[in-house]
Structure 1
Amino acid sequence: MSPEMFAYPFLFIAIFFESFVLITLLSKPARAARARMPDAMTPSVAVIVPCWNEAATVGATCDSLLALEYPKEKLEIILVDDGSTDATQQSMARFANHPQVRIITKGNGGKYTALNAGIAATRAELIGCLDADSFVEPDALREILPCFNNPEIVAATSAMSIHKPKSILQHMQNAEYTFGITLRHAFASVNGLYVIPGPFSFYRREIVEKLGGFRYGHQTEDMEMALRIQHAGYGIENSPRARVYTGAPATLAKLVKQRTRWITGFLRNILGEYRGLLFSRRHGVLGMLVLPIAIITIGGSILLFLIVLSRLVRNILVAFEIRIGIPLSYTLVPHGSFDWFYLPVNSYLLLGASALLASFSLIVVGKRISKTSGSLTLELFSYSLLYGLVAPLWLIRATGDVVSGKCRNWRY
């Protein structure tokens, strides 16, 4: 049996899932979410900014929060220094006398302990989280608050983009984040979100305290909290117009390290404490479709990469063998024009192209619903050129770590 036969089911599932997402965007809940407008509600809000060696960016992050269009008496900003060894405390010092800002200094214990320290320091109705290398639009808070008009919603996510992408690698990440905007918007309409990203996500404080606060969660505390919320039967919403911009790894090594942590955390959480969510009818689309396909996608992507790599190596070896038997002078002779008729087209190629086009559609939709700026052409080009080559690097590494039980130091 040809190895390609094992890739066909994965390609069919990929096309089916992307089609499901596009159709879900037309559903009544999704359309209602896009039509939702900021209202007059002004609950008390505290935004917690956990910091570890963020001297270069924490000042600008805090400035963006202070520029939010929201009553100053209702907005509190809590900067938590988690045992930084650089000049983070000095960068925080210029906000020490600001009436909206509170500064907490503690020993290093990890991001989840910094978040819990911030929660313990406030009685605000809603608590938000913002990574110290992220920056928000002035209307972002107004856009996300209407999610909480529904009493069944206990958390809400924003729409993330890369802050000032420069390299082709960062533009690829920006395309991936735009893809994620579409996915989160679609998943939220069927209560299928399984991660609440750190940049500008919000929670009902009383529910977070009831659930016991943030946990280690295999260094993916935001994903663990989302799974715990879903397991408890609560809802998670998304605001596609609450814009937040976050820093992106500038090198491939740092990107692989970051994404390995994300995938490792997902697999260890969902195959460990929260394996009961898998194929759970009680949890609807999340349990029966989103989580199973997320796992299938990891395995299928690795399989597809290995098949393509093996075929490439085989073809190179065959070409090399043929080249040895052909005189060099013959290879230098022109052999006529290219004819598209001889382009090898098969179902494997057509399915792959269909899946890629569906991905492009989701990126285009993400830019439109979130009103994200930037070059769509550059994003699509960088995504199609790089993503299929680099994503298997962290997928294979993370899967290997989970299987072997290896734990890494994730500090950059």
Structure 2
Amino acid sequence: MTFFLTILAFSSLAVLFYIYIGYSILLGILSFLFPARKVRKEPIQPSVTLIISCYNEEDILPAKLANCFSLDYPSQKLEICVVSDGSSDRTDEISEAHADKGVKLIRQEKRLGKTAGLNLAVSGTSGEIIVFSDANAMYDQDAISKLVQNFADHTVGYVVGEAKYTDAASTSSARSEDTYWQYEIVIRKLESSLHSMVGGDGAIYAIRRELYDELRHSDINDFVNPLQIIAKGFRGIYEPEAVCWEETSGSFSKEFRRKVRIVNRSFSGLLRVPAVLNPFRTGFFSFEVFSHKLLRWFTPYFFILFIFSTTVLGLQDVSPFQHITVFLAFFFLFAFTGYLLSANPHVWPMFSMPYYFCSVNIAALIGVNKRLMGHTQVTWNPPRQTEEAGSKIARPIILHITAALLLVFLLFETGRFFHLPLFFAKTTFWTSFGIIFYVYFGYPVVLSFWSWCCPKPVDCSEIFPDVSLLICAYNEEEVIAEKIQNSLALNYPSSKLHIAVASDGSSDKTAEIARSFSGESVTLFDYKERTGKIGAILKTVPCLSSDVIVFSDANTMYAPDAVKKLVRSFNDAEVGAVSADVIMQNEETTFGRSESSYYSYERWIQRKESEIGSIIGADGGMYAIRRELFKAPSPNIILDDFVISMNVALQGKRVVFDEDAIGFEMSSITHKAEFFRKSRVVAGAVQALKQAEGIPGP
């Protein structure tokens, strides 16, 4: 078994070495041994159609069109075509406004994806050469001229320009992406000199019009179309002097989604044109595709084999695998640190590069697996567009658990490897014990002593400010009527209490039921698209004009005087937010009683924190803030109640706890439900830390 695992470990390592280092070295050696294949270049000026793919590009399209008008190419030979893939913003309007300058708008009424739009556009254009571009790619003045000069060589079927990043040094994500891109450029140049570069670049590449074959909607045009051209016997050339400038995706998360999409569609595309893998048909190019693309996409599988075999051998003390295992553990911990710090624009490369490396390989694994299961992505949002509000938790809790296990494993292996003395083990034990003891016992003792020595009382004289009670609801048809009735029955002046129900794309009868209560005291905000609770809050709060906003969940029922008690603390000018005492019900089970006991402990902590200053975060079931102190969180934030309330504290105001303002909420019915709820809280806390929201940032 050891022999087999050793062979597996070294074989997978050899493949990984070849993929990332060996292939480029081999290309360099071959380029040195064999003369580069010449390309006949002449200053020709064929008719050119420049196709710009757009989906909701109103922000960047004016600059792109201005860039097109400045190109150093005869205007009578340059046709500019904007393909709008069902855009719902001003993209079409902007394009039509430039019709007098030769801009042609081709609109695809339904959103069918970029490739479907290109099929439609190519069939309606007349240029001998077609140049494909993205809306955010800004060309150098001579970029078109530099591209088309290569088509004087009749063996050339497509030409790819060089995309450069304008923000390469702006963030750790951008630096990681640019480093990888520079590595890719080296490979592209070597491939082009030997035969053809593999694939195109959606930002800047050109083809002969007659070589465009209509593509399937699931095809990625800048990969499948070049493969088809190679299969017809033409070459694909890299032209480094044809330059365009664009921004990176801007964040690790956006780059991750982009990589998933690219690998998924590219792998699907290669399966569409398998002839390019036949060396008897495409010669050296088949070797390039296999080495540069196919093996690269399957890198994660080789990594899994390498990690598995190395770890098993390392645990068996087989040299040198115990050293490699420790190195891998450190590498992944560094990558995890990079993940935690990924929202910070300036992360050390020792953390950001391992994270980027792991991220793109996980993306490749997902992309390939999706295709193997029969799914190919057709539509997507450009990476520069805002992330979807209320986005789902991307399984961060799994990452945290994995990192914790890695740390334990690393400590274990380090102890075994270095034969650490008993003193180290004892120190680790007592340090860990001390931290746990402080968290659950020491901190409450400190709070008790501090609140006894230095209390900060709150002026709770009765006041009646204008209040908006905001209820965010998604598919709450079972409780929304009871919640609205409960709110209308509150012991608070009706002229000063307005109830706002924000239906977050509910697909049941939530909106219909809420609409039946609409009147002077109740307003329904019926949002058709689901954007998550934070999305509903961000869209609704600007519509509220009251002095105080009370945030509530649909399943939290208030005691009659809850709002009256909640807002009285605002008589104190130092108070900016107030959290209520939401009591967990459903104590008929052992788990329910345990949960209720835990929250009693948490409420005691909050009461003591409030007595000396501010609590850490509010309860989303019932809390209130001064309207003017609302600072909008990012639209992807998970713990909206934590971030909104702590943003108040960051503005110098207190966030206090009022145990007399009481609400009631059903506790989790099962251990599983509470586990996932707690996982969400932990994930949200880590996200807030990463994005520096609700906490002091740099």
**Tell me, what secondary structure is at the counterpart of 1:29?**
coil
**Tell me, what secondary structure is at the counterpart of 1:97?**
helix
Distance 2:129 2:224 in 1: 19
| Correspondence for 1:405 | 374
Over 3 Å counting, the alpha-carbon distance change for 1:379 and 1:287 in structure 2 is farther
Distance 2:246 2:228 in 1: 25
Shift of 1:276: 3.0
| Correspondence for 1:389 | 358
Conserved 8 A contact 2:195-2:284: yes
| Correspondence for 2:13 | 8
| Correspondence for 2:36 | 29
Q: Which among 64, 68, 71 is matched to residue 67 of structure 2?
A: 64
| Correspondence for 2:266 | 266
**Tell me, what secondary structure is at the counterpart of 1:192?**
coil
Shift of 1:379: 12
Distance 2:117 2:180 in 1: 28
Letter aligned with residue 231 of structure 2: H
Alignment of 1:3-402 (within 5 A): 4-14=9-19, 15-26=21-32, 27-29=34-36, 39-98=42-101, 100-107=102-109, 108-165=111-168, 166-208=170-212, 212-216=213-217, 218-270=218-270, 272-292=271-291, 294-304=293-303, 307-308=306-307, 384-402=353-371
Letter aligned with residue 239 of structure 2: S
Shift of 1:253: 2.6
Distance 2:26 2:371 in 1: 29
Distance 1:4 1:89 in 2: 55
Distance 2:349 2:161 in 1: 22
**Which stretch shows the higher mean deviation, 179-188 or 305-314?**
305-314
Deviations 1:95-153 (Å, cap 9, x if unpaired)? 2321x322222313321232233323322211111111211111211222221111111
Shift of 1:159: 0.7
Distance 2:268 2:75 in 1: 41
Distance 1:309 1:222 in 2: 36
Deviations 1:368-398 (Å, cap 9, x if unpaired)? xxxxxxxxxx998788444322222102211
RMSD: 3.2
Could you say which structure has the greater relative contact order, defined with CA pairs below 8 angstroms and 6 or more residues apart? 1
TM-score between the two structures when normalised by the length of structure 2: 0.45
Distance 2:24 2:43 in 1: 36
Distance 1:163 1:117 in 2: 31
**Tell me, what secondary structure is at the counterpart of 2:100?**
coil
Letter aligned with residue 232 of structure 2: A
Shift of 1:262: 1.3
**Which stretch shows the higher mean deviation, 59-68 or 163-172?**
163-172
Distance 1:273 1:112 in 2: 15
Identity of aligned residues (%): 19
Shift of 1:182: 1.9
Shift of 1:158: 0.6
Conserved 8 A contact 2:133-2:202: yes
Deviations 1:262-285 (Å, cap 9, x if unpaired)? 111222222x33223324222111
Distance 2:132 2:118 in 1: 8
Q: Structure 1: state its 5+ residue gaps.
A: 319-343, 350-377
Conserved 8 A contact 1:279-1:289: no
Query: Which protein has the bigger helix share?
Result: 1
**Which stretch shows the higher mean deviation, 50-59 or 100-109?**
100-109
Over 3 Å counting, the alpha-carbon distance change for 1:13 and 1:40 in structure 2 is closer
Distance 1:146 1:401 in 2: 40
Conserved 8 A contact 1:80-1:106: yes
Conserved 8 A contact 1:174-1:379: no
Conserved 8 A contact 1:159-1:240: yes
Distance 1:125 1:288 in 2: 31
| Correspondence for 1:360 | none
| Correspondence for 2:569 | none
Shift of 1:292: 4.7
Letter aligned with residue 104 of structure 1: I
Letter aligned with residue 278 of structure 1: L
Conserved 8 A contact 2:300-2:365: no
Deviations 1:325-368 (Å, cap 9, x if unpaired)? xxxxxxxxxxxxxxxxxxx988x99xxxxxxxxxxxxxxxxxxx
Letter aligned with residue 29 of structure 2: I
**Which stretch shows the higher mean deviation, 301-310 or 122-131?**
301-310
Letter aligned with residue 196 of structure 2: G
Conserved 8 A contact 2:112-2:379: no
Aligned length: 347
Conserved 8 A contact 2:191-2:288: no
Deviations 1:247-268 (Å, cap 9, x if unpaired)? 4322333222211111112222
Distance 2:114 2:71 in 1: 24
> Which structure's CA Rg is the greater one?
2
Over 3 Å counting, the alpha-carbon distance change for 1:41 and 1:120 in structure 2 is same
Distance 2:215 2:87 in 1: 20
Conserved 8 A contact 2:96-2:103: no
Distance 1:409 1:109 in 2: 7
Deviations 1:206-228 (Å, cap 9, x if unpaired)? 232xxx33432x34122111111
**Tell me, what secondary structure is at the counterpart of 1:90?**
helix
Conserved 8 A contact 2:147-2:242: yes
Over 3 Å counting, the alpha-carbon distance change for 1:115 and 1:7 in structure 2 is same
Letter aligned with residue 201 of structure 1: Y
Deviations 1:272-313 (Å, cap 9, x if unpaired)? 332233242221111134325532233334422664589689
Distance 1:12 1:386 in 2: 19
Over 3 Å counting, the alpha-carbon distance change for 1:408 and 1:23 in structure 2 is same
Shift of 1:69: 1.3
Conserved 8 A contact 1:192-1:290: no
**Tell me, what secondary structure is at the counterpart of 2:264?**
helix
